[in-house]
Structure formats: structure tokens, C-alpha cells
Structure 1
Amino acid sequence: MRLQGKVALVTGSGQGIGRAIAVRLAEEGARVVVEDRSDNAAAEETLARIRQAGTDGCVIGGDIGDAGVDTRVIEQAVIAMGRVDVLVNNAGIEKRAEFLDVTEADFDAVLGVNLRGTFFATQAFARHVQERGGDGAVVNISSVHEELPFPHFASYAASKGAVKMLMRNLSIELAPLGIRVNNVAPGAVQTPINAALLSNQQELKALLANIPLGRLGHTQDVANAVLFLASDEAAYVTGTTLFVDGGLLWSYSEQ
């Protein structure tokens, strides 16, 4: 049990990658705070699966793009669970648009969740760690698009590039508190958000041609990487991005 006695908070864990991460951490002994935009049926289903894995947790709702909510979420997690040892900044959104058509509202929404949420949730977590005497881990769910251009998703790529530099900066600044900060950068993963892609055989075939391992990723692939970085097995790992992409980053080309 690599996370026995630890408490992990996973933002955006009502479904998809976030749910897989929450359950995987629970399987290794962590009690898990399920954070989602609201205390909804999906979040409660994630909590039920955590309990099936043999541990426990709670659900806390809130818009992670709001800095005040980020502080409240950490505070409520500490009240409910006693402490938080691992923060997984998983919540994220994307909006497709030609660059010339991107609206300010859509830009603010994407940067709000993907960057602002990661920034201020980590700040609130770090303050908690400082108060309890140090030691913790932050894992941000980034994307291959922290490095790889993503036409028609300029705000998303900008947000993930910013999260890369935020991670590098905080790995230095928070090291005196014993906080390790790393990114996991998934490539193309089978999740509900990719339903349209999965149903379009022509687009799917073109994408798979860019992936050396020849398949889409599974949510479990990402969850296993997060588990490693959250555990003491990665005690000397900070300031780095672990790509989970089947080789996509170094093989991709726009058709």
C-alpha cells in the first residue's frame, strides 16, 4: 500500500481521468477527496468506487476556477479528513475555435480552470502543508500540448504551457516545505470528452498513425503515472513532466 495513511484530493474527479486517478490512489490506501464542480451523481459514483477499493473519502463541490473556492475546498478537505498530503490538479476544460474567433469569455473559462485553478489550489494546499509542518506532493494533469502545438485550441495550449512553467517554478519555490511538484502529460486518451473522435473512424485512423505504440491511452495509464509521482517511490522527483502518450509527442504531424 504505497499511499497508506495519506489523504489525496483530486480535482475534477467526477469522471474520466480524474475518476481513474481517485480510484487508483484509493487502491493503494489513500483516503480521497473527490472534488467536482458540484456534489453531483458522478462525484458520488466516484466516491462509491473509492469505498469499493477499501478506503474512504468525501465529496466537495466547487468551481476550481475561482480562487476563493480553491481556498474553501482545501479548508473543507482538511476539516473532513484531518489533512491533505497529495493534491492532484486534474480539472480542465478545452474549447475549440479558430484563433480569430476565440471569445474573451471562452479564453477566460479555459485559463480560469486550467491555470488559475491549478495556481490557487496549489497555493491553498501549500499553505496547509506549511501549517502542519511540511511534506506533500502536487501532481498536475497537463497535456502533450504543454509542448505540442494544437491548432484551433490556442487557449488550451497556452494554459498547458503555462502550467508547465508554473510546475517548474513551484518545484523550486516549494521545495523548502518538502513539497514535490510534477506534471503528468497525457496524449490521446479514451475518455467521454473524446467520444466524437472515437466514432469518426477516419480521424481515429489518422491519429493512431501518429502514435508509435499504435493505440489510444487508457485512463488507467494516466492514473498509474500519478500514483508513482504521488508516492514515496518518487521521493527524489520534482520539477519534471512525465509524458503518458504512447510516443505521440515525438511522432505527431498535422495532416
Structure 2
Amino acid sequence: MMMGNLKLDILAFGAHADDVEIGMGGTIAKYASEGKRIGICDLTKAEMSSNGTVEIRMQEAEKAAGILGVKVRRALDLPDRGLFLKEEYIKKIVGIIRFYRPAIVFAPYFDDRHPDHGSCARLVEEAVFSAAVRKYDENRELPSHRPDTLYFYMINGFHKPDFVVDISNEMTKKIEALNAYESQFTKGESTFDTPLVNGYIESVEAREKLFGKEVGVQFAEGFMSKKPLLIHKDLLGEKR
């Protein structure tokens, strides 16, 4: 996967490989097909996963990224189950934001059954703010950068979204990307029993179907925003 300095339209952060695919794989596939430059950054290497290994998870992550059309995927080496709000962790995330200079940043929503997902949200929110502060970590060569906005996607939760993205044409690709994580979602003889191997992909599909039903499409992904959204022609029912 490309590792060079590429200015991104969208940069999505997750605590573990597969977080981003669960929450917004369809949205990524949608905008990647339109030529947008999209990157994923996994904060950890998911070394605490009950199933699979770090090596297997990284291979699966690359396969999933390829399916969705992601331009770059990075994995930081922050500790799985140790994503505490530390300055050294914030600085590493700031470095990624300043390097790829994304227009939009995504992170998991704060309210989630897995503590790492909420911790990832807090770390990324801090980093997005600090990345724009010119004198923050000023000894580094990378200049400051302020993304246009920060949005939050859902992983395990089912919350009332602030907005949704129609992924009716991308749902098949999203499921294909999730199925790339065989170690996590496929139940075998030696598989440790976790919530992920008991119909998890089907539950994600059902959630996106419910979000789609709310807006009159087949499937949609829901997102949260801390800032008001500016509506243009959509207010009159016109599709952009």
C-alpha cells in the first residue's frame, strides 16, 4: 500500500484494523469510486485480538483496503487496550494528520461498548485540534494543518445519526471488505468465541438497512457531527 506523502481528501482513524470498515466501509468505497483520495490509519496493530495474529490482521487489512479503493493505509504502534490520553500518542496522530493534510477526518463515535473505540475518538479529537496549532510540536518539520471538519462513525453502537450517506450501491463491497477479515468474522474449530463470530456482519448490514429505511434508500451509514451541517439544495429534496 502506498506510503508516500499524499494529500488526502478523507483520513479515517480506527483503534484496530476492521473498525473503519465496520463503520464507514461503504462511504469509503463510494467516494473512492469518484476519485477521492482516502487513507486509513489504525492506531494499534490489534495485538490483543482473541483470534488471529498481528501478521494475519495486517494482511487482512491490506486486502480490505484494496477492495474499498483506499490509497494509503498506516498502522501506528500504539498499545492495544492501552489507548490512554497521552501526549506522546497525540503527537503521533498529529504527525499523520500533518503528513497527509486531509480535508476531512473521521474517528469512531465516543459511545461504544469497546473502550478502545471511545479512547480513539478522544485521541483523534485532541490531535485534530493540536495539528492546527502552529507552535504545537514545532520542532518537527511538518507544518500545521487544520482539517475542514471531524466526523464520527459508529462501530458497535446504534445511535441516532446527525447525517447518513447512501451506500445502497456500495453495500456489497462493504461486506466483501469485512469478509476479508476471516480471522475475526469466520467461525472455525479453533476460533475463540467472540461477538464478532456470531452474526456480526449480518447485524452491521441490518443496521445500515435501518438507517437507509429512515431516508428512503436501501442502505445508509450513519455519522455524528459536533458542528452544525450546512445544507444547500438538499433542503428542497434535490440530490447532489
More helix by share: 1
Higher relative contact order (CA 8 A, sep 6+): 2
Scaled by the length of structure 1, the TM-score of the pair is: 0.45
The TM-score with structure 2 as length reference comes to 0.47
